[in-house]
Amino acid sequence: MAMAMGATAAASWAPISAPARVAATAAAFYPGGDLGAARRRRETPLRAAAGRPFVFTPRAVSDSRSSQTCLDPDASTSVLGIILGGGAGTRLYPLTKKRAKPAVPLGANYRLIDIPVSNCLNSDVSKIYVLTQFNSASLNRHLSRAYGNNISGYKNEGFVEVLAAQQSPENPNWFQGTADAVRQYLWLFEEHNVMEFLILAGDHLYRMDYQKFIQAHRETGADITVAALPMDEQRATAFGLMKIDDEGRIIEFAEKPKGEKLKSMMVDTTILGLDTERAKEMPYIASMGIYVFSKDVMLQLLRENFPAANDFGSEVIPGATEIRMRVQAYLYDGYWEDIGTIEAFYNANLGITKKPVPDFSFYDRSAPIYTQPRYLPPSKVLDADVTDSVIGEGCVIRHCIINHSVVGLRSCISEGAVIEDSLLMGADYYETENDKKALSETGGIPIGIGKNAHIRKAIIDKNARIGENVKVGPCSIW
């Protein structure tokens, strides 16, 4: 069936050369202006002096602080960001019992969705849609409060807008996968006068300049560009791997290969910009699930070539390589974590307490992480011993010990408590003294950590009530 689909697609696909696509796009972005000048500006980087096609080396545009970007037109007007909210999040259960994966709290003050949205805003991508389906109430509320009134302005058409899964007479089904989710809203996305669609996941932790990513896509004349993470052999078996040619073009995919198949997926990662020593340590590249699609290519693939495909990573993009589209790899050599399991979530949060340099820093002034303004008071720490920890806003911490932990906003920790190697997500609201008195009279427990409680190697969800002298943690440590 897959081969038959590929054959049909090959017959219907008419490749559009990079200069032709650039010229067509320039006409849209320079209506009534000098189209010839626009074409010359966009075509010049694609031609060498001798008139031969110019091969742009991916290493020149890999993600690094020293490289420069000069997008024309700029990302704010020419790129549409599409963030996928993800599935049911069963591997993160019970944290996803009442919330979507991207709405899970992160780093004391934030939520996971703040990462891709902030990356977009820092990269001048200001038109952003977030596609949601499961338990989306808290995610929708957070996005509206955090970004609803802060993106648009005079002569600025930026937005962060939620698109929920819905049934229609034409399609009675919910989202069946990443590609299907985009297909169901393709009628809306194509109305935007943009050059590329930037496809992102809502549950990854990383910091990336998408302008460099988009520049690589344009300079190489790619139809699709896939963000790739260098891997050693030990980690490679857990990821979908890609094989590239000497120009960085993807020619083969393999999902979690092992044995001889794994060996066959080794590539020369110096092609993408790694130095020789690190390339020997990292001879594999894995897909990050982050893509740039040229607009016309996306419309063609989802409507004509693969109208029944549900997933980008396993169906659409491998299919695009089969029909000889130019699918390019873009190296991202930095911290990246897929927050897909409880263990990954725990490690990623505690990783921000690492000394001397955390795995992921929220203190980068050049690329800040934005979130909902809550107008909370500073945290109050009264005669407490706090080491190697991160404390969120509005906490009240009294006469306790906190070591190597992340304490979420509005947390209340009572006298004698010990918190070690733990993640406390905090609370959504404060209880008044009258509330606490009423609870005490009826044998109830207030929100927070009670007196002399011991919390070790644990995740405490929001609004949890931990009583006095309670011990929480793996049985083996008590």
478 residues of the chain, pLDDT tens digit each: 332 333 333 333 334 444 444 444 444 443 444 433 433 333 333 333 344 444 444 443 334 454 567 788 999 999 999 999 877 778 899 999 988 889 999 999 999 999 999 999 999 999 999 998 888 888 999 999 999 876 654 446 789 998 888 767 777 677 888 998 999 999 999 999 999 999 999 999 999 999 999 999 999 999 999 999 999 999 999 899 999 999 999 999 998 899 999 999 999 999 998 999 999 999 999 999 999 999 999 999 999 999 999 999 999 999 999 999 999 999 999 999 999 899 999 999 999 999 888 999 998 889 999 999 999 999 999 999 999 999 999 999 999 999 999 999 999 999 999 999 999 999 999 999 999 999 989 999 999 999 999 999 999 999 999 999 999 998 766 6
Q: How many residues does the chain have?
A: 478
Contact 419, 430 (CB under 8 A): no
Please give the helix or strand (H or E) that residue 416 lies within, else none. none
User: What CATH homologous superfamily does 380-472 map to?
Assistant: Hexapeptide repeat proteins (2.160.10.10)
The burial of 443, by beta-carbon neighbours within 10 Å (0-12 exposed, 13-18 middle, 19 or more buried), is given as: exposed
Model confidence, pTM:
0.83
* Nearest CA among 280, 283, 327 for reference residue 301: 327
Query: Residue 281 is encoded by which pair of tokens?
Result: 């340590």
Strands 240-244 and 250-255, sheet pairing: antiparallel
**What's the alpha-carbon Rg for the chain, to the nearest Å?**
25
* Nearest CA among 123, 161, 164 for reference residue 292: 123
75-353 fold: Spore Coat Polysaccharide Biosynthesis Protein SpsA; Chain A (3.90.550)
Q: What pLDDT is attached to residue 72?
A: 86
Cα separation, 377 vs 334, in Å, equals 34
The residues near 1 (Cβ < 8 Å, ≥ 6 apart) are none
Cα separation, 120 vs 362, in Å, equals 16
Sheet holding 454-456, edge to edge: 385-387, 401-403, 418-420, 454-456, 471-472
Please give the helix or strand (H or E) that residue 290 lies within, else none. strand 284-294
* Nearest CA among 473, 465, 380, 463 for reference residue 428: 463
Per-residue burial over 399-433, b if 16 or more Cβ lie within 10 Å, else e, is ebbbbbbbbbbbbbbbebbbbbbbbbbbbeeebee
| Angle between helices 35-43 and 18-29 in degrees, nearest 10 | 140
Please give the helix or strand (H or E) that residue 47 lies within, else none. none
Query: Residue 417 is encoded by which pair of tokens?
Result: 């408590």
Cα separation, 215 vs 75, in Å, equals 10
Strands 204-206 and 336-338, sheet pairing: antiparallel
Domain boundaries, the chain: 75-353, 380-472
Cα separation, 409 vs 379, in Å, equals 9
**DSSP strands (E only) in 71-191:** 79-84, 105-106, 110-111, 127-132, 159-164
Phi then psi for residue 25, to 5 deg, are: -70, -40
Q: What pLDDT is attached to residue 475?
A: 73
